[in-house]
Structure 1
Amino acid sequence: MTRQQSTRTELARLGFADLTRSRELLDEFDPEILPAFAGAADPDQALALLSRLGASASPLLADPDAAARLIRVLGASSGLAEFFARHPEHLDALAERLDRMPGPEELREDLLASVTDVAGEAAWGALRVRYRRHLARIAAWDLEQPDPLAAVDSVAATLADLAGAALDASLAVARRSLTFPAEQIAATRLAIIGMGKAGARELNYVSDVDVIFVVEATGSLGTDVALTIGTRLAMQTSRGIQDLALEPALWEVDANLRPEGRDGALVRTLESHLAYYDRWAKSWEFQALLKARPLAGDLELGERYVAGVAPKIWSSASRENFVESVQRMRERVTEHIPAQDVDTQLKLGPGGLRDVEFTIQLLQLVHGQHDVSIRQRGTLPALQSLADGGYIGRAESAEFSRDYRFLRLLEHRLQLARLQRTHLMPTDPDSLRILARATGVQASADSLVAAWQRTKHEVRSLHERLFYRPLLSAVAALPEEGLALTSEQAKARLAAIGFTDPGGALRHIAALTSGVSRRATIQRTLLPVLLQWFAEGADPDHGLLAFRRLSDDLGEAYWFLRMLRDSSGAARQLTHVLSASRFVVSLFERIPEAAAWLEHEEELRPRPLEQLLEETRVTVARHAGDTDAAALALRTARRREVLRLALAGILGFVSIEELGEGLSDVTTAILTGVLELAHPHDDEFEFAIIAMGRYGGAELGFGSDADVVYVTRPTGASPEGAAKGAERVVRELARLTEDLRLPLELDLGLRPEGKNGAIVRSLDSYRAYYARWSLTWEAQALLRARGVAGSAALRRDFEAMADEVRYPAKITEADVREVKRIKARVEAERLPQGADPSRHLKLGRGSLSDVEWLVQLLQLEHAGSVPALRTTSTLGALAAAEAAGLVARKDAVRLKEAWILASRARSALTLWTAKTADVLPRDSRQLEGVARLLDYPPGSASRLEEDYLRTTRLARQVFERLFYGAPLRGPSTRG
């Protein structure tokens, strides 16, 4: 490669487009500055402008940091380059890095100083030059930030402060230029109120500065004279900023937001302003006043203006049709965009800045009537306050904030380029490439466009969901017009968003919001949000009814009201679980205080078994002598912990494996407690409970039976006496665990001889039975046997005995054929009549049974030689089989996916219906409820069905190949 080729390659890598021209221009400069062009948005422009500046830039180029700073500014802004070309003496503004943004007073003092000793028109020229010097420093700071999105707020606030300082300096010049008597000018107080982005301290690089002028006469000066002088001051102040002169205008001073707009007086007294807003102002004018702030001039007068209009702003939402009028105004703004600009408008178009701003302002005006915390001027602070107050979700707030900053960043870079007011995205590839480099957050034109389109979609979606939130207008008027929610329009809107019984919903709403209690006030304010969240759930009607009952149960509980008001995440989670699960609602009716857990994620984590057992011991000790009271306390604790796990499962805080372990631990805790009540002493016989099936594997789901077997061992009594005593314990266990609210079915079907066998046996009896009579299925059942309660020694001895049966050194072909025969029989006989085998979650094709039987066959075959297979966990054994090379990775993945999906769907069915069911429903509403609990988006019933059928079909293929089709492997071939 030649040196010329090498140079061209390097230039291309740095971002140059015109390689020939760039090589020629670079000959003028020290090669050491070349790497600095990598940080320029447009390296070609930066180089050309640097060449134009010539020797005046030499002092900066001698310092690598200053050179990089200058090149970044030139590459991003030809407008600032033009300023430096006119005033090269101000290039030193970039000599030092700006460590922090200057404050408003610092800027005001500096700009006032720039005009202090300058007379006439020259003073305004000096002001504009000084302003642009500061602008260059702000831009340089902005362009070198590692996170430009995070810098947007500081840049916008400083630009607003700079605008206020410029108005103050121009006003000072105006006061000197008037021909009125000096004492009259001095007696005329003029406040300049910042509106829009200037008032909110979120100004752009080049933006109209919206203002309102307020005048006041002091001393003996008459009001008419003060109005005349104030008007001249306002005109001259604006002229100094925006009229044509040798130094270009800064921006337009826009006073069209004043009373009566362009047709109204430019300057009014405070009293005149307030009178106008009392009598004539339209709804949009109060929306505009949200951002009013004393910006320049007499700040004390400005503060009185802001204080005077504030009550009018925050009562405006109660006006008739206020919300609809704001919504229509936003629509009119969109309608007036030229057709050719709609798709490229950053500010006014769909998904643009105005969507964010209008949404937030409307929510502020509606909810700010009663909540002072959201009375913020700035868009982002207001958004944060709305999220903090629960009026929008924290996720929505974070998404809106991120999108708003991204759009503002694009707007800043576009305006900085030529120091011209623009809100249109470029469409040509070169301009998009330069803009992508300027933002520092996108690497290419394509990625920038993709990010912008994604942002527009997100913003528009959030805007439509929040800005047009159903019942917002009715709730805005509710404090004065409580019957507004009984209108047919309200019913229609409720029906439109998913409520099947709008009339019933309105009755619940009325019950929740009637009266003057603190609870009613907060719920009246929050209902627009809550209703939308309920509407997003699978059963909005049931969710709203459950919320009403929960609110009635908790009454004026401070923590509940505070949670609703201040914790949007918790409130949203509450609406989600109430509209998603009848199972949860039934438990909430007994344990309403559990709603407090939603504020703290750690409260929704499964409690460790040790902690549960400690609570069990304390409960039994506290109720010593009162068995029934102790059992009731244990059953209540079980309900509480199951509710905790249900909430965690619905909200996605636990995996299906963690859920299975948690539910198994809760079952172990209650069985440990009731066993201590039923058999408090071990002096006659030992007693232990052995978990079997899914309980033994720590894989319980909601609604699962607890498969157990009971074992005893005489210690002091005769074998006959011990047997009778053990039977009494079993009967007492059944009585003490009986719970109609949350049944606990202790299933003994896996005991020796099944339903025909003894309900409890001694360890010796078990050992003798398994040695002489055990069938293959009984050895298979022992694969998940695990001691959970009672005598620790007896549990260990039982498990040791079970190991001899379930982990044989070898297994005969006849035994393997028996396992396969029984599995085929189960498929043929145990599946309920008429049930679709492809939809049965437990016994269907590719479902739980297929995975578990295959894994258990592998354990029977190989656990004798592969110790890792000696586990009661289905997934644990499957992983061990894969690690041992007994199951291929792809097959193991398919089996695991099917087992997890079937397990999740089975629990979801119970959560949704509060009934135990094993068949994937066909009814679309039921299927939708299950899908939503499995984290599918709305309208995904058919998608869940397709996913389940596909996943289990693939798992069935693996099962049939490995279970029925493969020959025996390893040790089994020697049986």
Structure 2
Amino acid sequence: MTTVPGRRSSTFTRLLRHGFTDPSAAERLLDLPELSSVRADPVLLEALGATADPDLALHGLARLVEAEEADERQILLDTLVTAKPLRDRLLGVLGASEALGDHLARHPRDWQALVTYEATDLHPGVAEFEQGLAGADDPDSLRVAYRRCLLAIAARDVCGTTDVAEAAAELADLATATLRAALAIARTAAPADAAQCRLAVIAMGKCGGHELNYVSDVDVIFVAEPVDGFEESAAVQAATRLAAHMMRICSDTTVEGTIWPVDANLRPEGRNGPLVRTLSSHLAYYQRWAKTWEFQALLKARPVAGDPELGAEYVEAVSPLVWQAADRENFVPDVQKMRRRVIDNIPADRVDRELKLGPGGLRDVEFAVQLLQLVHGRSDTTLRSGTTLEALRALAEGGYVGRVDAAQLDDAYRFLRAMEHRIQLYRMRRTHLVPEDAPDLRRLGRSLGMRTDPITELNQAWKRHASVVRRLHEKLFYRPLLDAVAQLAPGESRLSAKAAGHRLEALGYADPAAALRHLEALSSGVSRKAAIQRTLLPVLLGWFADSADPDAGLLGFRKVSDALGKTPWYLRLLRDEGAAAENLARVLSAGRLAPDLLLRAPEAVAILGDPQGLKPRTRENLDQEVLAAVKRAEGAESAVAVVRGVRRRELFRTTAADLIGSYGTEERPAEEDPGALVDRVGNAVTDLNAVTIAGALRAAVREQWGDTLPTRFAVIGVGRFGGHELGYGSDADVLFVHAPREGVDEQEAGRAANAVVSEMRRLLQLPTADPPLIIDADLRPEGRSGPLVRTLASYGAYYRRWSLVWESQALLRAEPVAGDAELGRDFIELIDPLRYPAEGLGEDAIREIRRLKARMESERLPRGADPTLHTKLGRGGLSDVEWTVQLMQMQHGWAEPGLRTTRTREALAAACAAELISGEDAQTLDEAWVLATRVRNAVMLVRGRPGDTFPSGPRELTAVGRYLGYEPGHVGDMLDDYRRITRRARAVMEERFYGA
């Protein structure tokens, strides 16, 4: 055919209209003599245009007719014109599957498998597939027969004769028939082995659940028993040879391709265990060694091939163990670990395209359904189906899942499975990734019935269904539970209090009865408050369950809600500001300190809803608020009460920011730099304590002397206070210095200074529910036996005559924190020559520092404490790092300005920059110091009281691990990592400090 240059033929235009993307190539194919009847027949062109990929369908048809003999070719073309069922089936397959087009090109007569269109052909079972495989007596003929049967399943699927669930069931039935045929071939090849044993093949996974993919491993377990007269060991060996041969028949690849891999790794001990076991051996393993996930896998176990009686005995024997799995002591952590592993195992560049494992993917639905089955199937046998959609339907009928929720999830699951089927069907490859190329997306969308704008429609539908699945923990776990507890619709839900308790227990609640009482108190009734709580609680319960202590989270939420229940903004804040609700859940379930702070002033929950609320306030802002409050107060005690209230609120802000920065939320991922978290906490708590002391100082002065004290007065922070390194449980180490004002007698000035110190300490120690601020002045000259307050001149005289090297070392972290700023600067000017001695330290001073450190290590570590886990005095802990850094400061501070800082990490970085320590060693020390500091902070956050070592209780230890970024079940990894990091730091310390 010829056309005028520059003008399109009418065929070209028709092809465009019918959805061909390359009409020119299609025209060339239609010019072939073999396809002349196709060009002339508008019915065939329209049928090609109705396929997922008309270009692919036409190309496949061309290959098929070329492969046929002339007579058969004409029969095929005539039948295509006259028989719509065949036309739709054959062209539908060719337009959806390049791989099945390849099969038809190799075996052109197989198109005749699509001719039959009888009732028995619409929904074939195992028996029909066995007939289709009959006569396949060698592996290659079995592969060809399998593809012929697969061709028919795909044809019914793409034409909509079967839905996605029916297609998956047919694929599982075809797999069953194929396993039987492969086992028959293996038995024929080894009759002696076959005579010795009874062998049963148990299908697991999607095959066992009657929901197989087009391309998937077929998971199996083998169980064998000896035939009478044969020894057990010989029979097991014979069964192993038969099973291995059967697996090779299905899994090997030849010129006819492959059927599918047979995977036996779900057997006891996995690939390290024997391929075949007796029934008693299986039971012994499951009763003694099996993990929770293995019972979850057995939920889908189904005998499919071999000895049917033995297969039935196996399923009957293991079934009670499956339905007792939820009673296991480690059920909750095992379940949490499995759920998290799903996302963790996805490569970052694939997570957005993963249909199976990604967020909102197929595994989310399957996993949640199975978990609900394990929890409630203990007492309700109607839930014990191995098929996901059947189990979901049973859960809805039993009231364990809301009917609307179940319908939405059913719809989402079917859509996602249909996407998965069509993706795999194209090239018959095992994949769960949504393609990225436009042609592939277009074919995928059209295969699902999207024709106007296939790519856009596909993406929108996919995201919509994934979004439904992404909410499945709210949908499947919590909302029906809440409906039952609140008795919103009596008689509509059959979820009993006992079943609700089981579910809470399975989700990690240690006291489900108490949890149910809290839920009832929060959500019962018809008030607007209860209605909002019913909206909030499903999501909050999930966040609580994701923590180390769900019970504490729920109890804390009830207490906060009780305290603020009549406050109109509270529930509105949680409902309308998504971050506020999640932030609150994380804070309430992470330990005792933050909830205790919040419950003393519940209105501070507003901080969690403010986008800027978690940022620490500046020292200047805090000073202004505190000093203004002191000025307004009627007396010193009421003034300090306000100041301590500010400290409590800001301490809550700091703990909340720290917890959310460590755990992360959906909107705010966890902080990647632990050092930044440590610095933020250290600076915030230091500023807060400094402002509190400044407020108490101002209140004490105003109470007795008005606005002016007879002597200038300053508070010097030392230790962690001066180093801006305070933790939540740290004391405030200070020195008090004063200087008489002009014309004031020194004794009078001294009495005033001592009086103000006493009053400050009294005010800060008044009984109150607020966390205490303990002022410790034991680092002053002469320690506890020396005067509490000295003049600047007295400090100078003492340091000139009596100062010891340890006192110079203690002054390395001295910094003014409150009071007269000029006096504070004078004090720093006075001590600089002591802490940064000219020309550094002499050998005697270095030996003395080393001697003091060694003595401290031997005498101050608490009896019974593990030296490898004590954060302050243990191996490679805070003391080791700080003394190493401080020795470098005293040796080289006179020459290196960067070392003249009170902050450990800054000094270490300066030492590295000055090449006093290698970058690797500096990194080792810094990592250990940051980790030890975070552990101390974590202990205080979790227990509500300070501690220098890891807690011993498993729940508290898990909470510390979560703060440090370890998932439940990985506490051992946390302790191992701590020991490893601090061991390396100790090695650096011994070399740098002791000169080892």
Q: TM-score, normalised by structure 1?
A: 0.58
Matched, 1:533 2:543: yes
Q: What amino acid is aligned across from residue 713 of structure 1 in structure 2?
A: A
Q: Which of 691, 705, 709 pairs up with 1:669?
A: 691
Assess, with a 3 A threshold, how the Cα gap between structure 1 residues 352 and 527 changes in structure 2: closer, same or farther: closer
Q: Which of 762, 773, 777 pairs up with 2:791?
A: 762
Q: State the Cα RMSD in Å.
A: 4.7
CA contact (8 A) 1:355 1:460 kept: no
Matched, 1:558 2:558: no
5+ long unaligned stretches in structure 1: 1-52, 61-69, 91-120, 137-204, 208-247, 258-330, 363-390, 392-399, 416-420, 442-454, 967-975
Q: What is aligned with 2:850?
A: 820
Q: What is aligned with 1:103?
A: none
For 1:475 and 1:55, how far apart are their aligned partners in 2? 72
Instruction: Describe the SS at the equivalent of 1:604.
Output: coil
Cα distance, 1:933 vs structure 2: 1.6
Assess, with a 3 A threshold, how the Cα gap between structure 1 residues 128 and 630 changes in structure 2: closer, same or farther: farther
Q: What is aligned with 1:337?
A: 211
Matched, 1:852 2:882: yes
Q: Which of 604, 614, 639 pairs up with 1:630?
A: 639
Cα distance, 1:473 vs structure 2: 2.7
Identity of aligned residues (%): 40
For 2:781 and 2:755, how far apart are their aligned partners in 1? 19
CA contact (8 A) 1:518 1:556 kept: no
Instruction: Describe the SS at the equivalent of 2:612.
Output: helix
Q: Which of 592, 610, 613 pairs up with 1:582?
A: 592
For 2:433 and 2:784, how far apart are their aligned partners in 1? 76
User: Alignment length, in residue pairs?
Assistant: 628
Q: How does 1:199-278 map to 2 (within 5 A)?
A: none
Instruction: Describe the SS at the equivalent of 1:836.
Output: coil
For 2:516 and 2:439, how far apart are their aligned partners in 1? 49
Q: What amino acid is aligned across from residue 503 of structure 1 in structure 2?
A: A
The range that moved more, 928-937 or 638-647, is 928-937
Cα distance, 1:352 vs structure 2: 10
Cα distance, 1:557 vs structure 2: 3.0
CA contact (8 A) 1:709 1:750 kept: yes
Cα distance, 1:563 vs structure 2: 3.2
Instruction: Describe the SS at the equivalent of 1:890.
Output: helix
Q: What is aligned with 1:786?
A: 815
For 1:500 and 1:792, how far apart are their aligned partners in 2? 54
Q: What is aligned with 2:628?
A: 618
Q: Which of 529, 545, 567 pairs up with 1:519?
A: 529
Q: What is aligned with 2:719?
A: 693
Q: Which of 851, 863, 866 pairs up with 1:836?
A: 866
For 1:710 and 1:866, how far apart are their aligned partners in 2? 29
Cα distance, 1:862 vs structure 2: 0.6
CA contact (8 A) 2:19 2:49 kept: no
Matched, 1:549 2:559: yes
The range that moved more, 897-906 or 567-576, is 567-576
Q: How does 1:417-566 map to 2 (within 5 A)?
A: 424=425, 426-427=427-428, 466=473, 469-477=476-484, 478-481=487-490, 487-566=497-576
Q: How does 1:362-401 map to 2 (within 5 A)?
A: none
Give deviations 1:781-801, integer Å, cap 9, x for gaps.
000000011111100100100
Give deviations 1:798-856, integer Å, cap 9, x for gaps.
01001121111132111111111111111111111222221111111110111111111
Q: What amino acid is aligned across from residue 719 of structure 1 in structure 2?
A: E
Q: TM-score, normalised by structure 2?
A: 0.56
Cα distance, 1:425 vs structure 2: 6.4
Q: What amino acid is aligned across from residue 658 of structure 2 in structure 1?
A: G
For 1:687 and 1:707, how far apart are their aligned partners in 2? 17
CA contact (8 A) 1:787 1:795 kept: yes
Assess, with a 3 A threshold, how the Cα gap between structure 1 residues 832 and 642 changes in structure 2: closer, same or farther: same
For 1:353 and 1:552, how far apart are their aligned partners in 2? 35
Matched, 1:80 2:17: no
Q: Which of 565, 579, 593 pairs up with 1:569?
A: 579
Assess, with a 3 A threshold, how the Cα gap between structure 1 residues 965 and 347 changes in structure 2: closer, same or farther: closer
Give deviations 1:727-770, integer Å, cap 9, x for gaps.
11111111222255301010111111111111110000000000
Give deviations 1:829-888, integer Å, cap 9, x for gaps.
111122222111111111011111111111111101111100000001000111111111
Q: What is aligned with 2:451?
A: none
Cα distance, 1:925 vs structure 2: 2.5
Cα distance, 1:957 vs structure 2: 0.7
Assess, with a 3 A threshold, how the Cα gap between structure 1 residues 606 and 902 changes in structure 2: closer, same or farther: same
Q: What amino acid is aligned across from residue 549 of structure 2 in structure 1?
A: D
Cα distance, 1:432 vs structure 2: 11
Q: Which of 658, 662, 666 pairs up with 2:680?
A: 658
Q: What is aligned with 2:751?
A: 724
For 2:957 and 2:905, how far apart are their aligned partners in 1? 26
Assess, with a 3 A threshold, how the Cα gap between structure 1 residues 496 and 787 changes in structure 2: closer, same or farther: same
Q: What is aligned with 2:131?
A: none
Q: What is aligned with 1:274?
A: none
CA contact (8 A) 2:740 2:749 kept: yes
CA contact (8 A) 2:474 2:542 kept: no
The range that moved more, 248-257 or 479-488, is 248-257
For 1:813 and 1:336, how far apart are their aligned partners in 2? 81
Q: What amino acid is aligned across from residue 482 of structure 2 in structure 1?
A: V
Q: Which of 734, 755, 760 pairs up with 1:708?
A: 734
CA contact (8 A) 1:578 1:584 kept: yes
Cα distance, 1:347 vs structure 2: 11
Q: Which of 617, 631, 646 pairs up with 2:655?
A: 646
Cα distance, 1:507 vs structure 2: 0.9
CA contact (8 A) 2:938 2:963 kept: yes
Assess, with a 3 A threshold, how the Cα gap between structure 1 residues 549 and 428 changes in structure 2: closer, same or farther: closer
Instruction: Describe the SS at the equivalent of 1:337.
Output: coil
For 1:348 and 1:678, how far apart are their aligned partners in 2? 67
Q: How does 1:75-224 map to 2 (within 5 A)?
A: 80-81=20-21
Instruction: Describe the SS at the equivalent of 1:678.
Output: helix
The range that moved more, 80-89 or 719-728, is 80-89
Matched, 1:772 2:772: no
For 1:425 and 1:600, how far apart are their aligned partners in 2? 50
Cα distance, 1:79 vs structure 2: 7.5
Assess, with a 3 A threshold, how the Cα gap between structure 1 residues 422 and 778 changes in structure 2: closer, same or farther: closer
Q: What is aligned with 1:278?
A: none
CA contact (8 A) 2:711 2:749 kept: yes
CA contact (8 A) 1:356 1:459 kept: no
For 1:440 and 1:131, how far apart are their aligned partners in 2? 16
CA contact (8 A) 1:342 1:349 kept: no
Instruction: Describe the SS at the equivalent of 2:613.
Output: helix
Give deviations 1:215-269, integer Å, cap 9, x for gaps.
xxxxxxxxxxxxxxxxxxxxxxxxxxxxxxxxx9998689999xxxxxxxxxxxx
Matched, 1:946 2:979: no
Cα distance, 1:426 vs structure 2: 3.6
For 2:429 and 2:538, how far apart are their aligned partners in 1? 43
For 2:500 and 2:158, how far apart are their aligned partners in 1? 46
Give deviations 1:698-720, integer Å, cap 9, x for gaps.
00000100100100111132111
Cα distance, 1:568 vs structure 2: 3.4
Q: What is aligned with 1:934?
A: 964
CA contact (8 A) 1:808 1:864 kept: yes
Assess, with a 3 A threshold, how the Cα gap between structure 1 residues 662 and 683 changes in structure 2: closer, same or farther: closer
For 2:958 and 2:96, how far apart are their aligned partners in 1? 51
Assess, with a 3 A threshold, how the Cα gap between structure 1 residues 587 and 425 changes in structure 2: closer, same or farther: farther
Q: What amino acid is aligned across from residue 901 of structure 1 in structure 2?
A: L
Instruction: Describe the SS at the equivalent of 1:687.
Output: strand
